[in-house]
């Protein structure tokens, strides 16, 4: 068994494996539509495939063309994105659609350079669209691709180091120029990383390139890549207030920058020290808030502790609070944490 892979054998093995083993995903149509691919690529960044599958067709139902997305109000785009998290991507996709309409007559450009100039399109997404939609020999590198390459080359080095990433781009570029069809090859690498060469417990017995894999030969598959040190999560303490007025509820909109930017929420006090003090809510003019329940919401970067309070109808409320019929809440962009708070308060069903 060789530990230095043979590039033509490697690419051929992966391409023929992918042709018969690819998962059936809604955006994997035979002839790739550029707009659908753009939407799927943005959605798939940092969100699990199963969640994207749920949201992909409804989003396209609401914005069936790049033009429809470009002219939609941002609030509508954020609402359609609800549940996918990382809302910055929704804003970038929206800005990208506007730029395609404004500068490319509503047609997704096919050159790598033009794609790279669009908002929200980095090297990976540009490479994915150029190769998978337009069959160009453009490389792609994401976490899956890096892991496969590190294992194939038996490289026990940190996956997120700049030097590792630069090396992976170089290898990927070489392989995409060796393969038969760049669309199939690029997707086969990602598919292998997502389904076979998974982070823990790679399924080497099912792997089409096991005879090319240095880590398998050396018995190091489990220790490659070297895990990255976990970023310290920041603590945040929130007190959210439920005030109903008949069939409506008071909400506020978050600032346009930062966490959950521009999304709607129950009026919320936010502190980076523990501050679930109803007196603070009363200081903002709210009479007699009562604590209902608390819960913890964990994201990659934060641990957010929520305390939910309820108060009766108020004679006066702050100007930035707006009343919304409960029946219309599903058309607003609301974070998963706030949806949970509203469920606890009985505003939304489970």
- Which residues are annotated as catalytic? 41
Q: Provide, rounded to whole angstroms, the least separation between the CB of residue 203 and ligand SF4.
A: 6
Only one of the segments 33-41, 57-65, 130-138, 148-156 lies at the binding site for ligand SF4 (rule: CB under 6 A); that segment is 148-156
For ligand SF4, the closer of residues 100 and 207 by Cβ is 207
Question: Strands (DSSP E) along 110-263, which ranges?
Answer: 234-245, 248-253
209 binding ligand SF4? (CB under 6 A) = yes
Q: Provide, rounded to whole angstroms, the least separation between the CB of residue 128 and ligand SF4.
A: 21
| 325 beta partners | 248
Only one of the segments 118-126, 215-223, 229-237, 244-252 lies at the binding site for ligand SF4 (rule: CB under 6 A); that segment is 215-223
Site for ligand SF4 in 47-86 (CB under 6 A): none
204 binding ligand SF4? (CB under 6 A) = yes
Structure tokens belonging to residue 181: 């069809």
Contact 17, 211 (CB under 8 A): no
210 binding ligand SF4? (CB under 6 A) = yes
Contact 29, 36 (CB under 8 A): yes
For ligand SF4, the closer of residues 206 and 233 by Cβ is 206
Cβ of 93: how many Cβ atoms within 10 Å? 24
The Cα angle at residue 40 between residues 95 and 196, in degrees rounded to 5: 140
Q: Provide, rounded to whole angstroms, the least separation between the CB of residue 221 and ligand SF4.
A: 4
- Contact track, ligand SF4, 151-170, x by CB under 6 A: xx------------------
- Of positions 109, 120, 202, 278, contacts ligand SF4 by CB under 6 A: 202
How many positions of this chain bind ligand SF4 (CB under 6 A)?
15
For ligand SF4, the closer of residues 168 and 216 by Cβ is 216
Site for ligand SF4 in 177-196 (CB under 6 A): 196
For ligand SF4, the closer of residues 146 and 196 by Cβ is 196
Looking up tokens 């603590």 gives: 235
How far, in Å, CA of 269 to CA of 236, rounded?
A: 10
How far, in Å, CA of 296 to CA of 304, rounded?
A: 6
For ligand SF4, the closer of residues 10 and 121 by Cβ is 10
Only one of the segments 23-31, 144-152, 181-189, 318-326 lies at the binding site for ligand SF4 (rule: CB under 6 A); that segment is 144-152
Contact 44, 59 (CB under 8 A): no
Only one of the segments 11-19, 71-79, 197-205, 336-344 lies at the binding site for ligand SF4 (rule: CB under 6 A); that segment is 197-205
Residue 285 CB contacts under 8 Å (≥ 6 apart), including other chains = 314, 316, 317, 318
The Cα angle at residue 214 between residues 210 and 215, in degrees rounded to 5: 90
Looking up tokens 């669009």 gives: 118
For ligand SF4, the closer of residues 121 and 215 by Cβ is 215
Question: Strands (DSSP E) along the chain, which ranges?
Answer: 234-245, 248-253, 264-265, 268-271, 290-298, 302-311, 322-325
- Of positions 40, 221, 268, 317, contacts ligand SF4 by CB under 6 A: 221
216 binding ligand SF4? (CB under 6 A) = yes
Cβ of 180: how many Cβ atoms within 10 Å? 11
For ligand SF4, the closer of residues 181 and 191 by Cβ is 191
Contact 240, 284 (CB under 8 A): no
- Of positions 79, 213, 329, 342, contacts ligand SF4 by CB under 6 A: 213
DSSP assignment of 254-288: --SSSTTTT-EES-EEEESS----HHHHHHTT---
How far, in Å, CA of 350 to CA of 345, rounded?
A: 11
- Contact track, ligand SF4, 243-262, x by CB under 6 A: --------------------
Give contact residues for ligand SF4 (rule: CB under 6 A).
148, 151-152, 196-197, 202-204, 207, 209-210, 213, 215-216, 221
């Amino acid at each position: 068994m060789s530990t230095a892979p043979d590039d033509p054998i490697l690419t051929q093995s992966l391409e023929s494996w992918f042709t018969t083993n690819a998962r059936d995903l809604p955006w994997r149509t035979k002839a790739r539509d550029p707009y659908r691919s753009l939407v799927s690529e943005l959605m798939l960044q940092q969100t699990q495939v199963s969640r994207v599958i749920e949201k992909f067709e409804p989003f396209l139902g609401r914005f069936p063309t790049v033009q429809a997305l470009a002219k939609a109000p941002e609030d509508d785009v954020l609402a359609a994105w609800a549940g996918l998290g990382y809302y910055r991507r929704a804003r970038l996709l929206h800005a990208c659609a506007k730029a395609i309409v404004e500068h490319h007559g509503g047609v997704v450009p096919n050159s790598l350079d033009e794609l790279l100039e669009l908002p929200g399109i980095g090297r990976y997404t540009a490479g994915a669209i150029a190769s998978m939609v337009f069959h160009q020999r453009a490389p792609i590198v994401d976490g899956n691709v890096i892991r496969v390459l590190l294992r194939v080359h038996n490289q026990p080095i940190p996956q997120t180091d700049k030097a590792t990433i630069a090396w992976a781009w170089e290898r990927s570029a070489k392989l995409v120029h060796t393969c038969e069809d760049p669309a199939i090859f690029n997707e086969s690498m990602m598919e292998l990383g997502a389904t076979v060469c998974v982070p823990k417990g790679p399924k080497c017995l099912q792997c089409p390139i096991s005879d090319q894999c240095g880590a398998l030969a050396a018995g190091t598959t489990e220790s490659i890549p070297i895990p990255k040190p976990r970023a310290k999560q920041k603590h945040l303490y929130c007190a959210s207030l439920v005030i109903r007025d008949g069939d409506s509820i008071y909400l506020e909109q978050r600032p346009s920058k930062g966490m959950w930017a521009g999304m709607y929420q129950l009026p919320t006090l936010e502190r980076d020290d523990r501050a679930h003090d109803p007196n603070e809510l009363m200081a903002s003019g709210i009479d007699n808030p009562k604590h209902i329940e608390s819960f913890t919401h964990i994201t990659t970067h934060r641990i957010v502790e929520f305390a939910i309070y309820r108060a009766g109808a108020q004679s006066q409320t702050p100007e930035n609070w707006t009343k919304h019929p409960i029946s219309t809440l599903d058309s607003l962009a609301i974070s998963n944490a706030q949806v949970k708070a509203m469920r606890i308060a009985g505003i939304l069903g489970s």
